[in-house]
Amino acid sequence: MTNPADYRPAPGSIPAEPGVYRFRDPHGRVVYVGKAKSLRARLSNYFQDLSNLHPRTRIMVTTAASVEWTVVRNEVEALILEHTWIKQYDPRFNVVFKDDKSYPYLAVTMGETYPRIQVMRGERRKGVRYFGPYARAWQIRDTVDTLLTALPVRTCAPGVFRKAERQGRPCLLGYIDKCSAPCVGRISEEDHRALAERVCAVLGGDAKGMIRDLTQSMTDAAEREDFEAAARARDRLHALRDVLDRNAVVLAQGTDADIFSLVDDEMEAAAHVFHVRDGRIAGERGWVVDKPEPLEVPGMVAQLIQEAYGAVEGVDVPPEVLVPAAPEGADALREWLRGVRGAAVDIRVPSRGKKAELAGTGHQNALQVLEQHRLKRSSDLSTRAAALQELQEAIGMVEAPLRIECYDISHTGGTNQVGSMVVFEDALPRKAEYRQFSIADGTDDTAAMREVLTRRFKRYLEESRLPPEERETARFAYPPQLVLVDGGLPQVNVAREALDALGVADVMVVGLAKRLEEVWVPGEEFPVILPRGSEALFLLQRLRDEAHRFAITRHRGKRGKAMKASALDDVPGVGPERAKALIRHFGSLAKVKQASVEQLTLVPGIGAGTAQAILRAVRGDDGMLDT
């Protein structure tokens, strides 16, 4: 715990201009990012009597050890810089909006030569048009299945597409007219791209032109007495109208708006948005919010808008954004959204009419989001705090271990050894900071553990001396309060010796033995036995199991590569380096089998005789080889 008076900037040294500020902990890690119209006025609020601060703000300023700021020209620049830094540093004391689930989107990959339509989740990719999000994946699949009747755009994965190209035969969808089969040349690249553009137009709510064209095609075919063509146009028209009818009309035709709702309480909040396009609900999304820093509703609304539009293309920002309360810094937000969209964006609170009614429905959805979140996590926040406190008391730590690292070793008979390091902060996994270590074969488990910990903490000592701006991108710059190793007293003692040899004395080490799930502490004759229902034991088991899973994943990959190369080991003239070069050149042993002698000789060090010997070994044939 630090004293804010020790790092308080000198009076008058803080500028009164707009800007963004960062609080850092003693290791230089950013723990909080904020913006202000006047840096001097805002920062002075943090450096007052601790008893006057909100409890969570008090924890933040006593965790930090320094504060720095960057002056900008106006509030819009401050807004953009704050959002960028929050995404970059992921500070633990900032309000974080998290999806209450991973919402699926309907995506069209316009960046590919032959665009395809598919369900996507997670981060957005460049060159992909997104529609939604939808509440359920089956809704998207039903929509796609119906849409393909009218617009048979490609849906297959790249591997399936390439296989169809090689074989000259389309997949089942190509035979039943639910794919235009660009893989076999039934449609040109330009025409298929135009088809994908029409799909995007329909999903975006603009289907009038296509409905008109299909209606005209059906009429013309009927007049020519080409009833088969008329029936196809009729089926496509019905399919198109069915897709449009799935989304109910809730507002006047031509209305594009996003309608946000928010439910807030002391510790957490929930938000919801309806995406309305051309008067229809095109998608919805929900967030849950942990609030490590107290924030009023206007501030929450401002953060929500930043989260919703911080990583979207201009086409995804509607001209109207309806919110439950006027956001903090509304003028700056409007200017920022104008820059994103390329046109004016109106942010306002609906007071009456259909938009206010839809906002009321959104509020009910936000309540459901929060209720479901609470049911899933029940007392998760308090449970995590209780687990850390219980662990602190059980192993005799001065403070609760907010950052815990767990280490495991995986191998097969002493070969293909891999060490894993997983990180939990505030009793939650921080997967971006997981690390893996390759270890030389033949090293026993305790020596391997010593090597991994030595490498990790040697890097920590080196990187802890870097300037703050370089430390931010360093891989091992931040130490844990607790190290957990998978094993009993021998592994714990080795871990403690490794840290002592480096002079790292302020990191606690314990081990979790599998046999009775006892917790071993260095220098203690007997283990600590945690109750079976203990939250602390459950936390340690999660850490141990996660480290084991992470190590096994890497080990299997390493072992698999070794096994692929092993078929080449007995070939005269092919040593480990040439075997690796072959696998690296062709990508896999299967590709080596398919290669000709002439292709093999393109690999440095492989002559014609060696190439024939390689093919005899991998194909198991009698030497009648293709050249």
pLDDT in tens, 432-457: 889 888 887 656 778 888 999 999 99
Cα distances (angstroms) measured from residue 75 to each of 333, 344, 491:
9, 17, 54
Residue 376's pLDDT band (cuts 50, 70, 90)? low
- Per-chain mean pLDDT for the chain: 81
pLDDT tens digit string along 30-45? 889 999 889 999 999 9
Are the beta carbons of 26 and 2 closer than 8 angstroms?
yes
Is 500 part of a structural domain of the chain?
A: yes
At residue 477, the pLDDT reads: 82
Same domain, 406 and 270: no
Same domain, 400 and 299: no
Same domain, 370 and 393: no
At residue 567, the pLDDT reads: 61
- 293 contacts: CB under 8 Å, gap ≥ 6: 32, 56, 57, 60, 93, 94, 95
Cα(502)–Cα(496) distance, integer angstroms: 10
Is 304 part of a structural domain of the chain?
A: yes
Is 625 part of a structural domain of the chain?
A: no
Find out whether the peptide bond into 133 is cis, omega within 30 degrees of 0: yes
Is 99 part of a structural domain of the chain?
A: no
Same domain, 158 and 186: yes
Cβ neighbours, 10 Å, residue 308: 20
Number of domains in the chain: 5
Same domain, 239 and 116: yes
Cα(157)–Cα(116) distance, integer angstroms: 8
Residue 323 sits at the vertex; the CA angle it makes with 321 and 329, to the nearest 5 degrees, is: 85
Are the beta carbons of 530 and 519 closer than 8 angstroms?
yes
pLDDT tens digit string along 236-248? 777 666 655 555 5
At residue 239, the pLDDT reads: 67
Average pLDDT over residues 591-620: 81
467 pLDDT more than 90 = no
| Domain limit, last residue, from 377, 411, 440 | 377
Cα(359)–Cα(350) distance, integer angstroms: 8
At residue 181, the pLDDT reads: 92
87: amino acid identity, one letter: K
Same domain, 184 and 114: yes
At residue 624, the pLDDT reads: 40
Same domain, 266 and 340: yes
pLDDT tens digit string along 219-271? 888 888 888 878 877 877 776 666 555 555 567 777 889 999 988 876 678 88
Same domain, 389 and 373: no
- CATH number for 502: 3.30.420.340
- Take residue 202 and report the two structure tokens written for it: 């329909």
Is 557 part of a structural domain of the chain?
A: no
At residue 515, the pLDDT reads: 65
Are the beta carbons of 336 and 77 closer than 8 angstroms?
no
Is 562 part of a structural domain of the chain?
A: no
- CATH number for 578: 1.10.150.20
C-alpha torsion angle, residues 67, 70, 71, 72 (rounded to 10)? -140
Cα distances (angstroms) measured from residue 546 to each of 64, 92, 429, 431, 520:
30, 22, 9, 10, 19
Cα(598)–Cα(612) distance, integer angstroms: 10
The whole domain housing 163 covers 105-245
- Take residue 121 and report the two structure tokens written for it: 């989740």
Cα(543)–Cα(485) distance, integer angstroms: 10
Lowest mean pLDDT among 23-37, 49-63, 140-154: 140-154
626 pLDDT more than 50 = no
| Radius of gyration, CA atoms only, the chain | 30
Residues of the chain with pLDDT > 90, as a percent, come to: 21
Residue 385's pLDDT band (cuts 50, 70, 90)? confident
- CATH number for 323: 3.30.420.10
pLDDT tens digit string along 406-440? 998 886 544 567 888 999 988 888 888 898 888 87
Same domain, 66 and 118: no
- Token look-up 């050890």 returns 65
Is 561 part of a structural domain of the chain?
A: no
| Domain limit, last residue, from 338, 357, 377 | 377
- CATH number for 33: 3.40.1440.10
Residue 270 sits at the vertex; the CA angle it makes with 402 and 331, to the nearest 5 degrees, is: 100
- Take residue 284 and report the two structure tokens written for it: 């919805």
Same domain, 432 and 548: yes
| Domain limit, last residue, from 223, 245, 267 | 245
Among 273, 274, 263, which residue's Cα sits nearest to residue 368?
263
Same domain, 281 and 223: no
Q: How many residues does the chain have?
A: 627
Same domain, 541 and 591: no
Is 199 part of a structural domain of the chain?
A: yes
